[in-house]
Structure 1
Amino acid sequence: MTACTSEPDTTEAEKPTLAEAAQQLVKDGDALLTSLAESQTGTASATERADQDKGEGCLPDEVQRFFRAGGNLARRHAAFNIAGLMQTHLRALGYEDLVDDLDIRDQKLSVVAGRDPKTDITYVVAVQLEQKPNIRIVGKTACYKQAG
């Protein structure tokens, strides 16, 4: 998931601008953080809020934006239970599953990933019990041609 490619269901004409995508990225990230707090399973806070263009993972003349957050569980849970909760919230926001979490989950580590086909935003949520922060959330926009 490091490279940026256009998916066939999102044409350039339908694709939001980088500013619009960044705004949606932050909105969805905040919704994930709120859902985590409301479920009383843990808390997390944003460490990056899509405020900088970054070229990592894009072609040389392209940039994208990131939303990153980290936090800890309120009490000990199975990692796949918390990841499943976050996956449910991503689905409610319109994200489609990118990975079958049954392939990469256990009691101590679970990862879910989703992509919104309308905005081409991707979110990955990792829950790990052996290391802090227990919860890591990373969202990113698609790659866009660099302005200028």
Structure 2
Amino acid sequence: MYKIPVSVLVIIHTVDLQVLLLERADHPGFWQSVTGSQDPGETLVQTAIREVSEETGLNPTGYVLTNWQIENCYEIYQEWRWRYGPDVRFNTEHVFGLCLPDIMPIMIAAREHLNYIWLPWQQAAEKVFSSSNAEAILKLPVRAQFAQVDT
């Protein structure tokens, strides 16, 4: 079954703007936030909750999960296109933020990730391989401020 070309990017961060990054198992040295494709019948929020749980072991429903209302459309890397339908070249990514009270231990999904690291937001933005991931992290100071006001 092909993947749906709709995904979530979840910036997991602490109140003091430490950001969680995961190192891809299929690309050592490629760091990213939690990301994943929508499953059939899922809402974007359900996708974000599932991906956070699968990739980190965290239960995101106990924390503030915010849809940042940002959509990024990008061309799918050639090496990953086989996962999608024959004529699919673009993916639409929806950005979310998940605010934790403090740095927490993570249980990575070994088939997907090799390691994890918590970094200050500026360093995290520099370390990720995806430009849309970096742009989202750079918006974190303003977004986190709104998340705290909303709670």
TM range (shorter): 0.3 to 0.5
Q: Which has the higher helix share?
A: 2
TM-score computed with the length of structure 2 as normaliser: 0.33
User: Normalising by the residue count of structure 1, what TM-score does the alignment of the two structures yield?
Assistant: 0.34
In terms of fraction of residues, the more strand-rich structure is 2
Find the structure with the greater CA-based Rg: 1
